[in-house]
Structure 1
Amino acid sequence: MDALAVRTVLGDLPAAELGVCDSHDHLFLRSPRLPGEELTDADAAERQLREFAAHGGQSLVQWTPYGMGRHTGGLAELARRTGVRLVAATGLHQAVHYAEEPPADLAELFVEELTEGVRGSVCGAAPRAGLIKVAGDFHGLGPHARRTLTAAAEAHHATGAPIAVHLELGTGAAQVLSLLCGRLGVPPARVLLGHLGRCPDLRMQREAARSGAWLVFDGPSRAHHATDWRLFDSLADLAERGYGDRLLLGGDTVTAAARAEGGVPQVSRVLRPRVERELGEGLARRVFVDNPAQAFAVDWKG
């Protein structure tokens, strides 16, 4: 097997086998910020995955971190039942998404879940996480964000894991990169910047692309997301400037309402064909196949 591998809930996978990938989505999630919108229904998640696969989808990366109902054992069962390759996350979101204080030693938690298995599995061997999900704040980094990003960097250096960052409304990319890559020594190619499309500032997006980090455009699972109409302007601009090899796309289905509007299958049923039609089959292959294989495959240290 290649030295570089994607760590799925069913084990490590050669990068070339990832296939058509939804690079940021959620099959299970709960948060006190989203009462009544929890994603907890395993049967509904299976239906979403089967429809996603029916339109050519082959893998999905769930960014749900520690303490937000990620249901990692459920992910493993869904992977077995549907044949879709699934990647789970460790990490920690913004403090507002938790009713209780997080564990004290975050780096130790992240490393444990990446190398041994996620905490809280009810039976059998616990699946391992394949990436670290953390979050910035609106136009900056507060104490909680700095603490979680610092722990993520420590866990990356111990394991090689990629770090996926929620950018609040698409802001704060420069501050995240300055801390993770400048001060803490994480290679930009191991950083994924999520939600860039929610701040449709083309100059900011180009600067992020120049850093060498991955640019994750997500949210089209929601039929009426406020920034969806700008998505293809951003993709076209970045591709024309030579950054097509830094782009990733995902659905980011975070609520029951988003699932009802289309959810995960929107990525393979609607978004991928539109990228092929409007921006070309070559860019579509990079965004959905080649780039995810590079972004999520690492030389694991444990």
Structure 2
Amino acid sequence: MPQVQTVRGPVDTAELGPTLMHEHVFVLTADVQQNYPDEWGSEDDRVADAVQKLRELAATGVRTIVDPTVIGLGRYVPRIQRIAEQVDLNIVVATGCYTYDDVPFFFHHRGPALNAAVGAEVPDPMVDMFVGDIEDGIAGTGVRAAFLKCAIDQQGMTAGVERVMRAVAKAHRATGVPITVHTHPGSHTGLQVQEVLGDEGVDPGRVVLGHSGDTTDVDHLSQLADAGFVLGMDRFGINLETTFEARADTVVEMCRRGHAERMVLSQDASCYIDWLAPGVMDLLPQWHYTHIHDDVLPYLREHGVTEEQITTMLVDNPRRYFENVGTY
């Protein structure tokens, strides 16, 4: 039976069960948290709050969350291990780098940045770092990343974004683990992802195009689904520039068009995100871990989405995403 790495170790893919494919435990600005610890407060209280929220999620029947927290989002696996020990939930973690523009300064004068100076192609150290997280484990914890994460947003395919994306593709080809890409569907960045990852020889079926549900352009989404990508309808509850109904109706229409096998569901929620000032969360009352089961699934059922299609999006597609692991 194929297996997938989780924070508590490998599990059979058949045991993943209902899976939310894009949820964070914490999203943090590491430098701020390290230097201004009063913002974070009590570590024990933060952990206890996370445990409570994840137990509430597990009570809905969800068995697995896939957490794409990587460099740039404050990944700290020892804390996640402590939480995972206390919840009956699989937590799958990632490796990669999150940027909309430039690479982190650490990489500015390493790898390909030195090509011109040395007159030869210098390997990108990101590739070995990502591969190490997958094959050896993260920072001595023994926890192995099960997928790769990168991002492209409204800024488009900047040099830094492309460098990270190609490093992710190379690590994917070396290890066989799948990829999730944060995208900005309003500016059709999925087509740019298709070009770069295609150039690197990546099968679109191994790639989730995250945040695809931020658009209601079902013709564009159908184009990406027909190309073989998995579409992350994964920001349910973030309804500042859209509505609950718009997000849900997009899934309904995509299912009507026969694309349930190309979609996964999630909320992009977290126990705590330090990007938001106190009070901002009050503007997003549906942005929490149980919104899909409390509100989204009943709406989908009422509007013609079948139980088989819901199982496909929540169980079968996540399982297939992690099962097709092999080296190139």
Give the TM-score of the pair, scaled to structure 2. 0.80
Question: Which deviates more, 275-284 or 223-232?
Answer: 223-232
Question: Which deviates more, 38-47 or 51-60?
Answer: 38-47
| Structure 2 partner of 1:299 | 325
SS at match of 1:216: strand
Q: Residues 197 and 227 of structure 1 are in contact (CA less than 8 Å); yes or no, is this contact kept in structure 2?
A: no
Equivalent pairs counted in the alignment come to: 295
| Structure 2 partner of 1:274 | 299
Within 5 Å, which residues of 2 pair with 1:118-129? 118-119=138-139, 125-129=141-145
| Structure 2 partner of 1:9 | 7
Question: Deviation at 1:78?
Answer: 2.3
- Tell me, in whole angstroms, the C-alpha distance in 2 between the residues paired with 1:97 and 1:77: 33
SS at match of 2:74: coil
SS at match of 2:216: coil
- Tell me, in whole angstroms, the C-alpha distance in 2 between the residues paired with 1:62 and 1:253: 10
| Structure 2 partner of 1:28 | 26
Amino acid at match of 1:88: V
Runs of 4+ in 1 over 6 A off after TM superposition: 34-40, 96-99
Which structure 1 segments of 5+ residues have no match? none
- Aligned partner (choices 165, 188, 202) of residue 204 of structure 2: 188
Q: Which of structures 1 and 2 has the bigger CA Rg?
A: 2
246 and 77 in structure 1: CA distance in 2 versus 1, 3 angstrom threshold: same
- Tell me, in whole angstroms, the C-alpha distance in 1 between the residues paired with 2:248 and 2:225: 16
- Tell me, in whole angstroms, the C-alpha distance in 1 between the residues paired with 2:106 and 2:200: 25
What per-residue deviation string (whole Å, max 9, x for no partner) do you get for residues 111-132 of structure 1? 011111113x5xxx33111111
- Aligned partner (choices 188, 195, 215) of residue 178 of structure 1: 195
Q: Residues 31 and 97 of structure 1 are in contact (CA less than 8 Å); yes or no, is this contact kept in structure 2?
A: no
What per-residue deviation string (whole Å, max 9, x for no partner) do you get for residues 87-106 of structure 1? 00111111569875348411
What per-residue deviation string (whole Å, max 9, x for no partner) do you get for residues 177-199 of structure 1? 11102x11001111110111213
Give the TM-score of the pair, scaled to structure 1. 0.87
Q: Residues 92 and 134 of structure 1 are in contact (CA less than 8 Å); yes or no, is this contact kept in structure 2?
A: yes
Amino acid at match of 2:293: S
SS at match of 2:192: helix
Q: Are 2:87 and 1:82 equivalent residues in the alignment?
A: yes
| Structure 1 partner of 2:245 | 229
Question: Which deviates more, 205-214 or 276-285?
Answer: 276-285
Q: Are 2:129 and 1:109 equivalent residues in the alignment?
A: yes
- Tell me, in whole angstroms, the C-alpha distance in 1 between the residues paired with 2:296 and 2:148: 26
- Tell me, in whole angstroms, the C-alpha distance in 2 between the residues paired with 1:25 and 1:130: 15
Q: Residues 72 and 99 of structure 2 are in contact (CA less than 8 Å); yes or no, is this contact kept in structure 1?
A: no
72 and 157 in structure 1: CA distance in 2 versus 1, 3 angstrom threshold: same
Within 5 Å, which residues of 2 pair with 1:95-244? 100-102=105-107, 104=110, 105-119=125-139, 125-138=141-154, 140-168=156-184, 170-171=186-187, 172-181=189-198, 183-222=199-238, 226-244=242-260
SS at match of 2:167: helix
State percent identity of aligned pairs: 28
| Structure 1 partner of 2:119 | none
- Tell me, in whole angstroms, the C-alpha distance in 2 between the residues paired with 1:300 and 1:76: 27
What per-residue deviation string (whole Å, max 9, x for no partner) do you get for residues 14-42 of structure 1? 2111011111011111148x999989822
Question: Which deviates more, 141-150 or 58-67?
Answer: 58-67
- Tell me, in whole angstroms, the C-alpha distance in 1 between the residues paired with 2:40 and 2:20: 20
31 and 198 in structure 1: CA distance in 2 versus 1, 3 angstrom threshold: farther
